[in-house]
Amino acid sequence: MKKQELLVIDDLLSALVGIEGRYISAKMVRGKEGLVTFQIDASTDLALQEMTKRIFPLCENFLAITQFVESRSHFKYGLVNHAFAAAIRALLLDYEAMVAQLEHQFRLGRLSIQGLWFYCQPMVGPMHTLSTVIEKASAHNLMGSGVLNLLQSQAKAMSGDNAMRSLLEKMTQHASSPYLCILERWLYEGVIDDPYGEFFFIAENKSLQKESLTQDYDAKYWQQHYSLKDGIPSFLTNAAGVILTTGKYLNVMRECGHHVQVYRFLFV
């Protein structure tokens, strides 16, 4: 291999984890906060430039996804985003392991630029798919059920690509876990433990007083203290009314001083 090709491969291995090199540099996209593109020095051999540009989208997707994971790990983005970010982080570990293996092969003199492109292929689809999802999630600043609905809609859009649909379904499963924990407490205890306001009920209209329930079972407290709001996860839409009423019943009974034992069923 020519010396320039070796230097470009070395730069590419760095670019794959978001680091600039001698021939490859990063540039912020004007008007799009946090979005970075990579470019190769114009003096580089044209064939090398062409091959290198094929790998740049993977480098750019890695940076975008990494930034999303870091930002959505902050408390203010809620439990669903935390779980989604954790699931993405597991994929990034696989990606970084791939880069480490490629670096090892390069140090042994066994990696050409064509080989680098070939071995990157298994990660191209997943990283592109996730980059598309996180771009939409960031653009609309989605939280809670908004993230779950986005993941579900994107998974359905991948009906012709089983691998990418499976990836998004797995992400949905991980991201929905904390949401379902909130749902479980509502259904079994009539309690909403929702510090980030991600659940699809409006808890606490404080102007309503529970004392009226002892005189009027159809009081405003029962009707308005908890109600459905926009953003119900699509997989719960048909059951939303029943879920609301079930939790409200348990909540009101407890507010009135009654203890209701609800048994959890284990399905195997």
Residues 210 and 268 in one domain: yes
The pLDDT tens digits for 174-216 are: 999 999 999 998 888 888 888 888 887 665 555 555 555 555 5
What is the average pLDDT across 145-159?
Answer: 94
The pLDDT tens digits for 5-62 are: 999 999 999 999 999 999 999 988 765 666 899 999 999 999 999 999 999 999 999 9
Residues 133 and 201 in one domain: no
Other CB atoms closer than 10 Å to residue 56's CB: what's the count? Answer: 18
pLDDT confidence tier of residue 116, bands split at 50, 70 and 90? very high
What is the average pLDDT across 59-85?
Answer: 95
Residues 97 and 185 in one domain: no
Residue 192 in tokens: 């909403």
pLDDT confidence tier of residue 231, bands split at 50, 70 and 90? confident
Residues 34 and 86 in one domain: yes
Task: Identify whether 37 is part of a domain.
Answer: yes
Task: Identify whether 154 is part of a domain.
Answer: no
Lowest mean pLDDT among 71-85, 124-138, 222-236: 222-236
Comparing 228 with 80, the larger pLDDT belongs to 80
Residues 108 and 205 in one domain: no
Report the pLDDT value the prediction gives residue 267, as an integer from 0 to 100. 43
DSSP 144-194: THHHHHHHHHHHHHTTT-HHHHHHHHHHHHHHHHHHHHHHHHHHHHS----
Rg (CA), the chain: 25
Residues 196 and 111 in one domain: no
As for how many domains the chain has, the answer is: 2
Task: Identify whether 171 is part of a domain.
Answer: no
| Full domain range(s) for residue 248 | 180-268
Report the pLDDT value the prediction gives residue 222, as an integer from 0 to 100. 65
CA distance 33 to 163: 30
Report the pLDDT value the prediction gives residue 216, as an integer from 0 to 100. 53
Report the pLDDT value the prediction gives residue 268, as an integer from 0 to 100. 40
Task: Identify whether 207 is part of a domain.
Answer: yes
